[in-house]
Amino acid sequence: MSQPRPPNAPSASGNPSAPPQKEPSSSHTTGLRYPSNGKTIYHRHLSRSKTAELSQASFAYLFSEMVTYAQRRVTGIQDLEKRLNTQGHPLGLKLLDLLLIREPPRSQSRPLNIITLLHFIKINLWQHLFGRQADRLEKSSDPDAPDEYMIIDNEPLVNAYVSVPKEMSQLNCAAFVAGIIEGVCDGAVFPARVTAHSVGSKEEGEMWPGKTVFLVKFQPEVLEREALIGGKG
């Protein structure tokens, strides 16, 4: 089945599940490469590539280009962060679905209150994206802002190689990750605004210079609903 075939050999021989349209003759001309057994990434089972690892270097270069791209014709740091956020948002929407489907069937339900949602983000999302959990989860101690929660990452993977120039010290490129979180929240119908803030230069700065807080600010209707159901989901 998985025996290598010459690129133009008919696919009908041993691979009935392979759709006929990705007959390698086209790949031959376009330069796209298909695996010899005809199974592209789209044919893989969703749960199977769970443990697949990616090269951090290739991600770093890709991310570097993403930031450079977002910087074009940008009006300011706020605008740049917003663009990065926008790049991450659709990823969050899609990841919510993917991660839920990979859950064991009994816990395979959408998070229904703020705490389960945040735990889902801290554990499942972080594990999937970065291979570890987020470092901490906090609720804002400010009584005026009951809608604010914080997800804390001591050294965000996206910032591993990023040195922000002094004149842009407000910027944190993890705004991209904030966008992903926002996407997950929105997808789970917990509309929120998520922003990334560097706190490394303050206390504990020596230990974790890249420490980042993702501030999750839910919309009022979310809190309203939360109050109605009494936080039980």
Partner 1 sequence: MCVSLIQPPIHQSHRHTKRLSRTVFALIIINKAGGLIYNRTFHEGGLNKISTNELLVLAGTFHGVHAITARLNPIPTPGANRNSASSAGTMMRPEPPSGLEVLESENFRLQCFTTLTGIKFLLFTDTTQTNVDLTMRRVYEMYTDYVMKNPFYQLEMPVRCDMFDRKLLSYIREINNR
The identity of residue 220, as a single letter, is P
Amino acid making up residue 89: H
User: How near is the Cβ of 64 to partner 1 at its closest, in Å?
Assistant: 4
Name the residues that contact partner 1, by CB under 8 A: 57, 60-61, 63-68, 71, 160-165, 168, 173, 209
Looking at the Cβ atoms of 34 and 130, the one nearer to partner 1 is: 130
C-beta of 90 vs 209, nearer to partner 1: 209
Which residue, 131 or 209, has its beta carbon nearer to partner 1? 209
C-alpha 123/C-alpha 121 separation (Å) is 6
Distance of closest approach, residue 125 Cβ to partner 1, in angstroms: 23
Q: How far apart are CA 49 and CA 97, in angstroms?
A: 15
Instruction: Give the shortest CB-161-to-partner 1 separation in angstroms.
Output: 4
Count of all residues that appear for the chain in the document: 233
Question: What is the distance between the alpha carbons of residues 133 and 200, in angstroms, rounded to a whole number?
Answer: 19
Nearest approach in angstroms of CB 62 to partner 1 is: 10
Instruction: Work out how close the CB of 136 gets to partner 1 at its nearest, in angstroms, rounded to a whole number.
Output: 23
Residue 214, strand partner residues: 151, 196
Closest CA to 111 of 56, 188, 52: 188
Between 18 and 164, whose beta carbon lies closer to partner 1?
164
Helix (H) or strand (E) holding 95: helix 77-102
